[in-house]
Amino acid sequence: MYNDFGRAYENIQDFNNKVLEDPQSFITDKIGETYKKYTLFDRCEKIESTQIKTACMVDMITYVAQEQSIQDHQKNLNEVSKTIAELDTKLRNSKDIKESQDIANALASESLKIQMIQASIEADNKIFELKRREKEEQLEQMHSQRINNFEYVPIPIQKGQ
């Protein structure tokens, strides 16, 4: 379980460091299968502007990473839930005080795991929300830049018409 959190942290770091530098490489290396599953239709494929295409890919990667994160957390919660159910059954059948105390301690440990998963979910959600805001800000800046680079040419008006 703790190894899963370590891997999750490394994945978040990879996401932060690599996704903005080279989205296509990140897709291939880290989330290829999940990316294919959730982005069956590549809506970025026909975008010609490199900046807008990169922003689009980052958006899709953020979505896929969030889906992958949800799946990972669900898997962890299912494992904890299964363990709690097994411990509950053992506790009900326990006839020894020492064994009952050991099971109660194990249940407390599982409760801590749930709290860690919840904290991880909240941290992931904040990161994904931050990525969305960054993307929106980037798109606003690109739009603003295009407007500023647009040269206004007035339409000539002919007199007498």
Mean pLDDT by 10 residues, the chain (161 residues): 58 60 60 60 76 78 81 90 92 90 92 91 87 82 73 62 50
Which residues contact residue 142 at a Cβ distance below 8 angstroms, ignoring those fewer than 6 apart?
49, 51, 52, 55
d(CA 23, CA 105): 45
Determine the pLDDT at residue 152: 57
d(CA 11, CA 120): 12
Which among 22, 129, 141 is positioned nearest to 69, based on CA atoms? Answer: 129
Determine the pLDDT at residue 131: 82
**Rounded to the nearest 5 degrees, what angle is found at the Cα of 57, between the Cα atoms of 145 and 6?**
120
Exposure of 131 in the CB half-sphere (CA atoms within 13 A): 26
d(CA 9, CA 138): 25
Residue 68 and residue 31 in contact, taking contact as beta carbons nearer than 8 Å? yes
H or E element: which one contains 145?
helix 97-149
Amino acid at 88: D
pTM over 0.75: no
Six-digit token string for 86: 């097994």
Determine the pLDDT at residue 25: 63
Residue 65 and residue 128 in contact, taking contact as beta carbons nearer than 8 Å? yes
CA dist 97 → 54, 93, 94, 101, 105 (Å): 61, 11, 8, 6, 12
